[in-house]
Amino acid sequence: MSMSDQEKSPAAPAGATRAPADYFTGIAWVKPLVPANDSTDCVVGEVTFEPGARNNWHTHPHGQVLVATAGTGYYQEKGKPALLLHPGEAVSIAPNVVHWHGATADSRFTHIAINPAASQGVVVWLERVTDADYQAAYA
Residues in contact with Mn ion by the rule CB under 5 A: 64
Least separation in angstroms between residue 68's CB and Mn ion is 13
Close Cβ partners of 46 (under 8 Å, ≥ 6 residues apart): 13, 16, 30, 31, 33, 69, 110, 111, 112, 113
Q: How far is the CB of 60 from Mn ion (least distance, A)?
A: 6
Q: In the complex with Mn ion, which residue's Cβ is closer, 1 or 96?
A: 96
CB 119 within 8 A of CB 62: no
Q: Which C-beta is closer to Mn ion: that of 9 or that of 95?
A: 95
Q: Which is nearer to Mn ion, 51 or 63 (CB)?
A: 63
